[in-house]
Amino acid sequence: MFKKDNWTLHVTVTITIFFILLTSSSFAFLSILLARELLPGLFVAIAPLTLTIFAFISSTVIGTGISLFVSRQLFKPLDDVIKSQKKVAKGDFSVRVASPRKGTIITELVEGFNSMTQELGSTEMLRSDFINNFSHEFKTPIVSIRGFAKQLAKEDLSEEQKKEYISIIVAESDRLALMSSNILLLTKFENQQIVSDKTKFYLDEQLRNCILLLEKQWSKKKLNLELELNEVEFFSNEEMLSHVWLNILGNAIKFTPEDGTITVKCTQDSESITVKITDTGVGMSDETRNHIFDKFYQGDSSHKSNGNGLGLPLAKRVVDLCNGKISVKSQIGKGTTFVVKLPKEKV
């Protein structure tokens, strides 16, 4: 691609120079013909050397004028890119360069620059959101623990109040512990490039075990579990992959109202394995769906629901490490479906 782009640029410059030379020479030639027609006597009296000098000067002046005009039109986007780069260097990622006509190498350069600034702006926004959300998620339970610990220091508390405050402190401590654990896991997986400690195991059995681990949560809400699990043997890191199912199932349980239904399907073909987890929960908006795998992002901006926005990014990273794909389909009030596709690996 680079060689092709270079070749295109060379051809463009060559054609432009040829056009300028041809145009300036043509204008000079026409000027001489015009002088010959209008002033034939003077034209005969002019020495050949003087005529040559006149042709050279006129060609140079015309060529310079055309070059200035063409270069300004041709390279104006480059000047805009250079000026915009200086703004980007100062941290302004909102700059965009007006794209010239399609089909030129400069168009590709401008479009590439605009895509880069857009991506940098998105990354900066995510970084800022990450810091803000992390501060909020970490600070909230600490403030809560501190406040209820102070309340416990009072001597006029009843036993019932003490139990309530202790219960809240334990719950907030568990929340902090889970957050710390997820952050460590996510950091570990983000710095990991390959899946190690692979073993053969049955994926359908792993899904059943994960559902049993979450039995307390879905039983409390009287949820209906519908399982369609074909026997599937898989070769990967069993412990790592369990985080995917626990997080997706945990979300499905959390956002599905009482007496709702969660369906788990596991199928395979000659090349891949597909796990589909569907719930009849509250669903999510397009904006939430677009950011569902961003760290610390929560569709519930009020943070009323338990969670820290790390489970699904963790699940996606594990799926990526397994060279798989994870997608989500959802509509407000119509539930959510997560689809995980994993390629079959030869042992």
Per residue in 206-222, pLDDT tens?
A: 999 999 989 988 999 99
**149: which 2 tokens?**
């610990």
- Give mean pLDDT, residues 275-288: 88
Which residue bears the tokens 């640029």? 9
Residue 320: Cβ within 10 Å count: 14
Summary mean pLDDT of the chain? 76
Which pLDDT tens digit goes with each residue over 85-106? Answer: 777 777 776 777 776 666 556 6
Residue 342's pLDDT band, with cuts at 50, 70 and 90, is: very high
Which pLDDT tens digit goes with each residue over 110-160? Answer: 777 777 777 776 666 656 656 666 666 677 778 888 888 888 888 788 888
Higher model confidence: residue 315 or residue 132?
315
Q: Flag whether pLDDT at 283 surpasses 80.
A: yes
Closest CA to 295 of 185, 213, 144, 214: 185
Q: Residue 5: its pLDDT value, please?
A: 45
Question: Mind listing the domains of the chain with CATH numbers?
Answer: 2-92 (no CATH), 123-190 (1.10.287.130), 199-343 (3.30.565.10)
Say which range, 61-70, 151-160, 289-298, 301-310, has the weakest mean pLDDT.
Answer: 301-310
What are the angstrom distances between the C-alpha of 274 and each of 139, 172, 241? 39, 36, 14
Is this structure's pTM higher than 0.75? no
Q: Residue 207: its pLDDT value, please?
A: 93
Q: Residue 4: its pLDDT value, please?
A: 47
User: What does the alpha-carbon distance between residue 282 and residue 150 come to, in Å, rounded to a whole number?
Assistant: 38
> Using an 8 Å Cβ cutoff, are 182 and 309 in contact?
no
Which pLDDT tens digit goes with each residue over 17-68? Answer: 666 666 666 666 666 666 666 656 555 555 455 656 666 676 666 666 666 6
